[in-house]
A and B are shown apart, each in its own frame.
Chain A
Amino acid sequence: KAGVTQTPRYLIKTRGQQVTLSCSPISGHRSVSWYQQTPGQGLQFLFEYFSETQRNKGNFPGRFSGRQFSNSRSEMNVSTLELGDSALYLCASSRAPGMGETQYFGPGTRLLVL
């Protein structure tokens, strides 16, 4: 079974631009979560989607948004990029939300904002 795939793997943008990242979950998984990883803050939860609905949202500004499609694929968008948005963005999928549903992570998209 194929794992979680994320595209693109690397991205360079400039301040003020916007970016869209994509995540395809493991086949049969309907829940997708996004995390941001930076050297200073570590791994922080961004948001979680299930059945095309956002279930949870982390403490990030409104510039960060996401959505999920009917095939469970998810995208996240960051508008008006800032230097501090440079990070590894990780997507994780699970069969469903809730306790005990193990999350499997993709390889991440490394975003550099200049």
Chain B
Amino acid sequence: GEDVEQSLFLSVREGDSSVINCTYTDSSSTYLYWYKQEPGAGLQLLTYIFSNMDMKQDQRLTVLLNKKDKHLSLRIADTQTGDSAIYFCAESGSGNTPLVFGKGTRLSVIA
């Protein structure tokens, strides 16, 4: 079945860029998403990318998609302490709605 893999932890200094990586197995994945979860909260949609795109930029966020390698990354520029959270990569494809999530990457921002 489909699988989404992420590294579990990332630690960066405030003001640096963060890069969170994700790989997926479903070659029919059509939409790929990044969600953010803060402690005790639900999931907040950050951004998404359609599979026919290579890159999408939205303010401090840049998403890069390498469809050949099935690799997705989220870059957060000028990372702030408020960016500390768990970031989930998710894919949706094959005409089905259910999202398949990675285990999440816990981003810690050091002041």
**Contact indicator B97/A31 (Cβ below 8 Å):** yes
**Contact indicator B95/A99 (Cβ below 8 Å):** yes
**Contact indicator B45/A99 (Cβ below 8 Å):** no
Q: Of the 9-residue stretches A40-48, A64-72, A74-82, which lies at the interface with chain B? A: A40-48
Given contacts A90-B43, A107-B41, contact A56 B101 (CB under 8 A): no
**Residues of the A chain whose Cβ atoms lie less than 8 Å from the Cβ of B45:** 102-105
Interface residues on A, range: 20 to 34
User: Does A25 interact with chain B (Cβ within 8 Å)?
Assistant: no
**Contact indicator B98/A45 (Cβ below 8 Å):** yes
A85-112 contact mask (Cβ, 8 Å, vs B): 1 or 0: 0000010101001111111111110000
Contact for A48 among B33, B95, B97, CB less than 8 A: B97
User: Does A15 interact with chain B (Cβ within 8 Å)?
Assistant: no
Residues of B contacting A: mostly: strand
User: Does A16 interact with chain B (Cβ within 8 Å)?
Assistant: no
Contact for B35 among A99, A100, A105, A107, CB less than 8 A: A105
26 contacts between A and B (CB under 8 A): A31-B97, A33-B97, A35-B99, A35-B101, A42-B104, A43-B88, A43-B90, A43-B101, A48-B97, A48-B98, A56-B96, A56-B98, A58-B98, A90-B42, A92-B43, A98-B97, A99-B31, A99-B93, A99-B97, A100-B30, A100-B31, A100-B50, A101-B97, A102-B33, A102-B48, A104-B45
Chain B residues with a Cβ under 8 A of chain A: 30-31, 33, 35, 41-45, 48, 50, 88, 90, 92-93, 95-104
Chain A residues with a Cβ under 8 A of chain B: 4, 6, 31, 33, 35, 42-43, 45, 48, 55-56, 58, 90, 92, 94, 97-108
